[in-house]
Structures are given as C-alpha cells and as structure tokens.
Amino acid sequence: MSGDGEPGTREPYADRWLAVRSRILNSPALMNPVHWLTGRKRALAVAQAGVGIFWMMLFLLAPLLYIFTISFWQTGAAGTMVQEFTLENYYSVLLQDVSLTGFDVGNIYLLVLWQSLKFGIAVTAITLVLGYVPGYYLGRSDSRWLPVLLLLIILPFWVPLIVRYYAWMLVLGESGVLSWAIELLGFGSRNFLYNDLAVISGLVQVLLPFMILPIYNSVSKIEDSLLESAKTMGANPIRTFYEVSLPLSLPGVVAGCILVFILAVGSFLAPALLGGPGDQMIANLIERTFLQGQNWPLASAMSFVYLVVLFVMITAFNRFVSLDELFGEGS
C-alpha cells in the first residue's frame, strides 16, 4: 500500500477491494433476507427499533421487574431468599425506627434518603452558580479557541469517576493541595476530608460539565440580533441580560439542573470516598445492604422506593421539559 512516488498502484487495489465488497453485498445469502425484510416496511421498522427496545426489556426492565418481585419475598438464613409473600421489607424501609444504644435515631432509610436529596439540592444550586458564567461565556464567545475551551469541559467528563474523586481526595487530604496552601498562609495543616462539605464539593467538581454544556447550548442559540435590538432600544447591558439572555438561557439551566440533581442524588463514590460515616447516601445504603448484608429482598425494596421517589420528581420536572429534549440535545 506504499503509494509514495507511484500513485497509480493504489487504484487497482481499491478497485479490487470494491469488487470484493460488491460481490459480498450482492450475494443471495445476504440479499434474500434483506429483500424479505424490505418488502415488509412494518417488519423492518419493528426489526430495527425493536433491537434496542428488546435489549432494554431483557437487561433493564426484566431485572427491575424481578427485583420488584423479590422485594416481597422473605429473607432466610445466611442471605437466602424464601419465596413467600411478605410486606416486611417495605415495613422496615419506610416505617421501622432504629434505636442505637438507647437513642431513637428514627428510620435509617428515610434519613439517608432525605440526606441524599439535601445533598442533591445543595450540589445543584452550587453547580448552577459556578457553571452559569462559563456556560454563558462559551455561548457568547467568538474566540477562535472555542473548540479547545469546549474540549476542556468535555474531557474531565471522560476521566473515570473514581480517578476524579481520588484527585479531589489529593486536594482536600491531610498532606494535600489545600492543606499545603493554608500552611503557606501560616496556618497548621488540616484534613478537609470525610465530612459533608467534602462530599458536596467533590460532587460539584465532578458534575460541573453537566451544567456548563446545556447552558452553553442554550446561550449559543441566542441570536446576536436580539441583543443588538435590545441595545438599540436603549436597554443597558444589565437589563439586556435580565430581559433577553437570561430567559432565553433557561432551557439550558433547567436541563443542567435536572441532570446534576439526578446524578448527585444517586452518587455512590462521592460519599464512599470523601464522606464520613454520617455522610452516606442512598446508593451506599443499598450497596451495603446488598453486598455486605447479603439481604437481597431488603435491598430490592430500598431500590424500588428510591426509584419511585426519583420518578415522581422527574415527572414533576418533566412538566417543564421533556426528557427526550433533555437527553437528545442537552448532553
């Protein structure tokens, strides 16, 4: 295939390869089934869209239905399951209070769920504040570095979550970057890890691209002429922002908030690596019940209650934006 100096040699090779492909693609063994399908528009549609639908039914819906069933089963000795109907799992998830050394701490599941939602709200709010300005900047900038600047937002999202949270540990940890910085300022070294602020800041750090990119998308669609005409009509820049840019960027803001909220609430790694024992979130509770506790029916009930809460919230959000729009364009 060395085409240097003798460009003519490439042509016969390409021709022969085309001939081979053409013979394969015209072979009756391949074309007969294709003709059978193309003759039936409906069958073709079902066959194509059906592949993905079937995959999701087999590997997602069926498993979800199965754990829904299991959540009504009893737990036997040593992590076994007894196939007899019980509401006990849901009782202990939703109603049973736990007391530790005499103190009534309340219902663990609901406490942890509430904590996850609180973390989710805090993370979403902070991410919005931090992410709006760069999102706006990218959307309005005419810099020739724009592709590179966008790439720098996308690339961290590619790095494995475990590496990004570990990196954040190196920043907050005892001999980490932050500790080094405050030592330079004359304070003693400190460990910033294993508390709720570490979890929240870690989640913000990791989820920022999910806020910045949808906002960038919305802002970049705002026509320059709209801003120009607001200016011509005498609006000052601040008024132009509040009355033109901000409302038009709202779809991106809503999309970003939903994405960040969903991902933050369901986070496993942030509380596992950055949080203390009191900062565990719903994903950690489910994992512990399933892997350490080997209580599959209880873990299933926990998963289901969480799914229901999540879907109620998404449906509520969904009145503002459709999911399809959100994922089709937003991410």
DSSP string over 240-300: HIIIIIHHHHHHHHHHHHHHHHHHHHT-SHHHHHH--GGG--HHHHHHIIIIIS--HHHHH
Distance CA 149, CA 139 (A): 11
Residues touching other proteins: how many (CB under 8 A)?
A: 99
Calculate the CA dihedral of residues 245, 251, 257, 260 and round it to 10 degrees: -110
Span 159-178, contacts to other proteins by CB under 8 A: 159-164, 166-171, 173, 175-177
Span 273-292, contacts to other proteins by CB under 8 A: 273, 282-283, 286-287, 290-291
Q: Least distance (Å) from other proteins to the CB of residue 206? A: 9
Out of 79, 106, 237, 278, which residue is the one contacting other proteins (CB under 8 A)? 237
Q: Least distance (Å) from other proteins to the CB of residue 114? A: 16
Span 195-234, contacts to other proteins by CB under 8 A: 205, 208-209, 212-213
SS3 72: coil
Distance CA 237, CA 137 (A): 15
Closer residue to other proteins in complex, CB, 97/143: 143
- 330 within 8 A of 250, measured Cβ to Cβ: no
Out of 72, 92, 269, 280, which residue is the one contacting other proteins (CB under 8 A)? 269
**Is 187 among the residues that bind other proteins (CB under 8 A)?**
no
**Is 85 among the residues that bind other proteins (CB under 8 A)?**
no
**Is 49 among the residues that bind other proteins (CB under 8 A)?**
yes
Distance CA 174, CA 177 (A): 9
Out of 47, 95, 182, 308, which residue is the one contacting other proteins (CB under 8 A)? 47
Q: Least distance (Å) from other proteins to the CB of residue 95? A: 22
Q: Least distance (Å) from other proteins to the CB of residue 237? A: 6
Give the count of beta carbons closer than 10 Å to the beta carbon of residue 113: 21
